[in-house]
Amino acid sequence: MPTSPAQPPHARSLAAVNEEIRALLEAGGLVSPEGRLRYQELLVEWAAAVRGDVAEAA
């Protein structure tokens, strides 16, 4: 039976991703196209971290 892949060992914690998202927002970094791209990447990473936290809690 296939299992869902575990969170990669190099994945950052939810708190670390949250901190970077906050820093980007506070710095006004979403103004540039690069900033918007980084924000999207961080949201994907944040969602993966949330899934990892939920899987660990179960």
Write out pLDDT tens, residues 16-34. 999 999 999 999 988 999 9
pLDDT at 11: 80
**List of E strands, 1-58:** none
pTM: 0.70
Distances (CA, A) of 11 to 26, 35, 41, 58: 24, 21, 13, 19
pLDDT at 1: 45
Q: What is the pLDDT of residues 30-53, one digit of tens each?
A: 899 999 999 999 999 999 999 886
d(CA 27, CA 13): 22
| Residue type at position 47 | A
